[in-house]
Amino acid sequence: MKEVDRAGLNLDRQSFLGKTSAPILDNTQVAIVGLGGGGSHIAQQLGHLGVGEFVLIDPDIVEDTNLNRLVGATQQDVTKGSAKTSVAARVIVSVNPRARICVETTQWQKCGIALRSCDVIFGCVDSIGEREQLETVARRYLIPYIDIGMDVHRMNGEFFIGGQVALSVPEGPCLRCMGIIDDRALELEAQQYGAAGSRPQVVWPNGLLASLAVGSFVQLMTPWHTRLDLPVLVEFDGNAQTVSRSNKLLYLEGRPCPHFASLSSLGDPFWSARAVRKHVATTIS
């Protein structure tokens, strides 16, 4: 884990976000899980916005096939085998040297405790199963979760780009409520259903979806405006070049999410105060 703390960032041009927005953003800790095509854009934008604390998680290194979309990565990173987290950290620090950055070059499940104190988690992972796990962690610790997803489908010999940005806020609709996750999709994924090989990805839909996700984040955290009907699911049609609020949730309006409603869906499944006492004893000694 590395920390960086140097000089400041002038945010005068975004002061319309509210006079307290700069300290709010500086005092906000964000996790980005997955620093590939989508996550690298998000990291860059949050760096420009002046977000103060980052937890960057991705186990992968930069490969030549990433350069068509991975913001900040260079040929030299491919040669050196730089971690994607290091590239994101470098991009952030290059615009906001005061950013405090924790880098975890491992699977997020192995450093899940680092997510718990975050104010917002961005999920930029590929699989539906991982999305479900990540959202479950976010719900357990009452953390808003912003998920981006993009796919390229082949139909009748043509390629279609689709994607969505989902804002999963505790007590609001979750990814299951939104229809992004369901048992059948999980089952099919588990059977590795579909075309084999690497998933097609391109830079501009990633950038657009990342921008929408950052827009949701800014509305969530800053006093920019008081509009409370922030769309929780936005859909992107890459061929028609349209972004629209999803109508999937029309029938759920006002209904609480039933999937994470119980008390037992909160907190550590196996809590023990021993770890806290141990830490206090270590600090005192």
* Interface residues toward another protein, by CB under 8 A: 24, 27, 113-114, 116-117, 119-120, 140-144, 167, 169-172, 219-223, 228, 230, 263-264, 266-268, 271-273, 275-280, 282-283
The residue among 190 and 276 lying less far from another protein, judged by its C-beta, is 276
Shortest distance, position 280 Cβ to another protein, whole Å: 6
In terms of C-beta density within 10 A (0-12 exposed, 13-18 middle, 19 or more buried), how is residue 135 classed? Answer: buried
Q: Compute the Cα dihedral for 143, 127, 38, 231 and give only its sign.
A: negative
Shortest distance, position 39 Cβ to another protein, whole Å: 21
Shortest distance, position 191 Cβ to another protein, whole Å: 34
The Cβ-side half-sphere exposure at 11, using a 13 Å CA radius, reads 24
Shortest distance, position 80 Cβ to another protein, whole Å: 29
Among 219, 212, 197, residue whose Cα is nearest residue 163: 212
- DSSP lists the bridge partners of residue 150 as 163
The residue among 97 and 256 lying less far from another protein, judged by its C-beta, is 256
The residue among 27 and 109 lying less far from another protein, judged by its C-beta, is 27
The residue among 197 and 271 lying less far from another protein, judged by its C-beta, is 271
Phi, psi (deg, nearest 5) at residue 111: -130, 30
The residue among 203 and 249 lying less far from another protein, judged by its C-beta, is 249
Shortest distance, position 276 Cβ to another protein, whole Å: 5
- DSSP lists the bridge partners of residue 145 as 121, 168
Shortest distance, position 30 Cβ to another protein, whole Å: 12
How far apart, in whole angstroms, are the C-alpha atoms of residue 263 and residue 219? 28
Say if residues 137 and 144 touch (Cβ distance below 8 Å): no
For the beta carbon of residue 220, count every other beta carbon within 10 angstroms. 16
For the beta carbon of residue 142, count every other beta carbon within 10 angstroms. 13
For residue 116, give the DSSP letter. T
The residue among 24 and 203 lying less far from another protein, judged by its C-beta, is 24
Identity at 36, one-letter amino acid code = G
For residue 200, give the DSSP letter. P
The residue among 191 and 283 lying less far from another protein, judged by its C-beta, is 283
Residues with Cβ < 8 Å from 47, sequence gap 6 or more? 91, 92, 93, 94, 95, 96, 99
Shortest distance, position 61 Cβ to another protein, whole Å: 25
